[in-house]
């Protein structure tokens, strides 16, 4: 795991006797090794948290002196309790081939975006693109993201803050979801440069496909009588006030709505309830990426407003969780 | 939902403004209806807990004035926080046909067992069997079970307490798991009378099959170097002291062991960790009923002791969670 010495120092400095370790799925293979190393070097007992962890929004409580959370950057606005975010060294930038593959698709003025994993690559990529004649902007972070140019699946601030200064975006990363929000929020091209595949792609088709899917979900929910409004228990996903507002809005329009409180949102946990459509106020990915797994339509809060006639489709907006 | 008046009175009596509702899977179909009824009659806001609930051992915390837990009897030794157990009326005993189907398989002296759902049938079934010449015993409850004759999947006290006075047991219920523990703990025949199917069966074959499966799991774990000891976060399933004792025992025998803390125990949450075998201190059903879903052997604490050479196979015991 590289320099666990630094982590051992932190544990000693806090006089912790029990340490909780939280890993994202991709780092589970390192969990036993790290726990063993910490136990022998720091003389503590480690508890590995085996509840899935999806981000810095999802830091589980543990009965320990110190929680060590790996693989995510802290969200500055959240008040974590006894949590140390252990920043693993990211992968090295071995080649610019994937950036060069994206370059011909880019406008002159471009905003650079990525996730926490690749954030240390941005200065070199900016310089590389500037040499090729681009004007490159990297948006400063706000209260919910830690680093410049960092996107969350629920926060596109570093993209929208530079919107007026760019004609399109380059996203460094492997998946579609993070840049998808940008492509829907901002009417400018979003290009993905994928360091694992070494290739680049324009997000336009994915964006259009998802928007058609959202339109269909809204249409399916149009005549729903009973809505289930999902509220997360996770520290950075809980939006109870929003949910209670949506419940009141539903009742104003003579629809029935009930609040469903849960930790992990998963299709099997929502089976059996007599609900015609779901409204998701937890992680925005759930409604967008997982919609086909749910029997009933799964709407974002903004889409629910469209169903109720409180918002026009022309004002469609991607869901974000703002501090 | 029958007499919700009583529930509304309780809610008013406690001056609750927000009420959490927890349902077992089988009652999810009633959730929206009950929430709507309570909201309109008691003038409160209901939050439906959509985290799965497996028993009175599994009462989730909710940010509400009162939690209403349905479908399970409280466990007397647990200190619940603002929880009201709402006792739904159980099904009526429409016919004794399933008892009559079991009767020829029963010894003269028989212990009656069931789950909370059918507990109100026991006096009538006792009388019915006594008329046919049987001596019937119904074991008194202890600190972990609420009712006479009630079995939990982790507590067989009402069976073992009458062991010396009976030559076999009659279990009233639909599944195999609850009486299976009795069949393994006590070397006497256990007959299941199934009120849904209207039939009866001897548990001997299931018992022997499960014991062979346990033997195989112990053999597969024999040379494991790294054990993952699972500890539940659930109020009635947490056995951290036991887990820490097992970890120390493993280290005494030069095996490595780490504690894995989790809420819901599920195969996908344990994937990826570099562990050769699991030891389950959460709900005992997980190791027995779900073993085929896990890649690595999943042992009970007692089985782990056999692997380490601290217990002989002849002392094999079914796992129970005792207060």
Q: What is the pLDDT of residue B144?
A: 86
CB-CB: which of A48, A244, A269 is closest to B50? A269
pLDDT digits (tens, 9 = 90+) for A194-249: 999 999 999 999 999 999 999 999 999 999 999 999 999 999 999 999 999 999 99
Candidates B46, B273, B275; nearest CB to A258: B46
Phi/psi of residue B113, nearest 5 degrees: -135, 155
Q: Is A150 helix (H, G, I), strand (E, B) or coil?
A: strand
Question: CA of B207, closest CA in chain A: separation in Å?
Answer: 30
Alpha carbon distance B281, B237 (integer Å): 8
Nearest CA-CA distance, residue B250 and chain A, Å: 14
Residue A88 pLDDT grade (very low, low, confident, very high; cuts 50, 70, 90): confident
> What number of H helices and E strands is found in chain A?
10, 13
Q: What is the DSSP letter of A153?
A: T
Residues in chain B: 323
Q: Residue B230 and residue A262: Cβ atoms within 8 Å? A: no
On chain B, the residues whose CB falls within 8 A of the CB of A47 are 231, 259-261
- Its pTM stands at 0.94
Side-chain-facing half-sphere of A321: CA atoms under 13 Å: 27
Percent of chain A with pLDDT strictly greater than 70 = 99
Q: Residues in chain A whose beta carbon is closer than 8 A to a beta carbon of chain B?
A: 20, 25, 28-29, 31-33, 35-36, 45-52, 62-63, 226, 228, 230-231, 233, 240, 244, 247, 256, 258-265, 269-275
What is the pLDDT at residue A170?
98
What end-to-end distance do the CA atoms of chain B give, in Å? 33
Cα-atom radius of gyration of chain A, to the nearest Å? 21
Distance, CA of B312 to CA of B321 (rounded, Å): 21
A72 pLDDT above the threshold of 90 = yes
What percent of chain B clears pLDDT 70, i.e. is strictly above it?
99
Q: Inspect the interface and report whether the beta carbons of B258 and A226 lie closer than 8 Å.
A: no
* Candidate from A29, A32, A269 with C-beta closest to B52: A269
Q: Two tokens at B72?
A: 């399970």
pLDDT of A226 reads 98
pLDDT band at B247 (very low <50, low <70, confident <90, very high): very high
What is the mean pLDDT of the segment spanning B17-39? 96
**DSSP notation for A11-30:** HHHTT-SEEEEE--GGGGGG
What tokens were used for A146?
A: 């830690």
Closest partner residue to A29 (CB to CB) among B240, B264, B272 is: B272
Q: Which two tokens stand for residue B251?
A: 């280290």
Exposed / middle / buried, residue A96 (Cβ in 10 Å: 0-12, 13-18, 19+) = middle
State the smallest CA–CA distance between residue A298 and chain B in angstroms: 15
CA proximity to B258, closest of B241, B272, B246: B246
pLDDT of residue A322: 80
What is the Cα–Cα distance from A32 to B272, expressed in whole angstroms? 10
Residue B20 with chain A: CB contacts under 8 Å: 261
Beta bridge partners of B215: none
> With pLDDT > 90 as the criterion, what percentage of chain B qualifies?
93
Give the integer Cα–Cα distance in Å for A210 and B39: 36
pLDDT for position A87:
82
Beta bridge partners, B50, equal none
* Structure tokens that stand for A154 in this block: 């629920």
**Mutate which of B258, B277, B295 to test chain A, going by most A C-beta atoms within 10 A?**
B258
Contact B271/A31, CB-based, under 8 Å? Answer: no
- The 10s digit of each residue's pLDDT in B48-104 is 999 999 999 999 899 999 999 999 999 999 999 999 999 877 889 999 999 999 999
By CA distance, what is B247's nearest residue in A?
Answer: A45
Whether A270 and B50 lie within 8 Å, measured CB to CB: yes
pLDDT recorded at residue B2: 58
**Nearest alpha-carbon partner for B254 in B194, B322, B213, B309:** B309
Q: Flag if B32 and A264 touch (Cβ within 8 Å).
A: no
Q: How far is A118 from A97, CA to CA, in rounded Å? A: 15
pLDDT at A2: 57
**8 Å CB contact between A203 and A186:** no
The minimal CB distance from B29 to the residues A25, A32, A272 is found for: A272
Tokens 């807990």 found at: B49
Chain B residues with CB under 8 Å of A255 CB are none
Closest CB to B28 among A51, A262, A272: A272
Numbered residues of chain B with Cβ closer than 8 Å to any chain A Cβ: 20, 25, 28-29, 31-33, 35-36, 45-52, 62-63, 226, 228, 230-231, 233, 240, 244, 247, 256, 258-265, 269-275
Q: For an interface test with B, which of A22, A50, A229 has the most B Cβ atoms less than 10 Å from its Cβ? A: A50
Residue among A240, A259, A261, A264 with most chain B CBs within 10 A, to mutate:
A261
Structure confidence by residue, pLDDT tens digits, B273-297: 999 999 999 999 999 989 999 999 9
CA angle A96, A139, A99 (to 5 degrees): 15
Tell me how many residue pairs between chain A and chain B have CB atoms under 8 A apart. Answer: 118
Q: Are A47 and A20 in contact (CB under 8 A)?
A: yes
Partner residue opposite A259 with nearest CB, options B48, B228, B269: B48
Rounded Cα distance, B156 and B139, in Å: 10
Contact indicator for B190, B183 with CB cutoff of 8 Å: yes
Nearest 5°: CA angle at B185, between B184 and B187? Answer: 75
Does the pLDDT value for residue B248 go beyond 70?
A: yes
Written in H, E and C, the secondary structure of chain B is CCCHHHHHHHHHHCCCCEEEEECCHHHHHHHHHHHHHHHHHHCCEEEEECCCCCCCCCCCCCCCCEEEEECCCCCCCCCCCCEEEECCCCCCCCCCHHHHHHHHHCCCEEEEEECHHHHHHHHHHHHHHHHCCCEEECCCCCCCCCCCCECECCECHHHHCCHHHCCEEEEECCCCHHHHHHHHHCCCCEEEEECCCCEEEECHHHHHHHHHHHHHHHHHCCCCCEEEEEEECCCCCCCHHHHHHHHHHHHHCCCEEEEEEECCCCHHHHCCCCCCEEEECCCCHHHHHCHHHCCCCEECHHHHHHHCCCCCHHHCCCCCCCC
CA atoms of A22 and A58, how far apart (whole Å): 10
CA dihedral A125, A131, A132, A138 (to 10 degrees): 40
Min Cα–Cα distance to chain B from A166, Å: 41
Tokens read off for A17: 């006797």
Q: What pLDDT was estimated at residue B90?
A: 82
Q: Shortest CB distance from A35 goes to which of B25, B258, B262?
A: B258
Residues of B in contact with A233 (CB under 8 A): 51
Q: pLDDT per residue over B141-181, tens digit each?
A: 988 899 999 999 999 999 999 999 999 999 999 999 999 99
Helix (H, G, I), strand (E, B) or coil at A48: strand
Q: Of A311, A155, A281, nearest to A218 (Cα)? A: A311
pLDDT 10s digits, A163-176: 999 999 999 999 99
The ipTM of this complex is 0.92
pLDDT at A31 over 60: yes
């Amino acid at each position: 795991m590289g320099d666990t010495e630094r982590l051992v120092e932190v544990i000693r400095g806090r006089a912790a006797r029990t340490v909780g370790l939280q890993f994202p799925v991709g780092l589970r293979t390192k969990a036993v090794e790290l726990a063993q190393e910490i136990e022998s070097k720091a003389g503590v007992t480690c508890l590995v948290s085996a509840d899935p962890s999806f981000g810095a929004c999802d830091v589980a409580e543990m009965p320990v002196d110190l929680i060590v959370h790996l693989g995510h950057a802290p969200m500055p606005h959240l008040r974590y309790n006894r949590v140390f975010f252990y920043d693993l060294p990211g992968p090295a930038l071995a080649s610019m081939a994937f950036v060069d593959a994206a370059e011909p698709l880019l406008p002159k003025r471009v905003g650079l975006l990525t996730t926490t994993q690749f954030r240390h690559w941005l200065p070199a990529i900016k310089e590389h693109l500037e040499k090729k004649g681009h004007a490159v902007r990297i948006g400063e972070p706000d209260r919910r993201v830690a680093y410049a140019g960092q996107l969350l699946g629920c926060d596109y601030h570093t993209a929208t803050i530079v919107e007026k200064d760019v004609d399109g975006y380059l996203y460094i990363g492997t998946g579609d979801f993070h840049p998808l929000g940008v492509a829907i929020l901002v009417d400018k091209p979003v290009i993905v440069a994928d360091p694992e595949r070494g290739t680049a792609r324009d997000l336009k088709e994915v964006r259009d496909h998802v928007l058609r899917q959202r339109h269909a979900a809204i249409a399916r929910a149009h005549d729903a009588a009973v809505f289930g409004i999902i509220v997360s228990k996770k520290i950075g996903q809980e939006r109870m006030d929003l949910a209670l507002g949506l419940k009141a809005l539903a009742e104003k329009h003579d629809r029935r709505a009930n609040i469903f409180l849960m930790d992990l949102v998963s299709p099997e946990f929502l089976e059996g309830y007599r609900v015609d459509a779901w409204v998701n106020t937890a992680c925005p990915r759930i409604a967008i990426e997982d919609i086909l797994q749910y029997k009933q339509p799964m709407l974002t809060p903004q889409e629910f407003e469209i169903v109720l006639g409180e918002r026009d489709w022309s004002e469609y907006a991607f869901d974000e969780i703002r501090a």
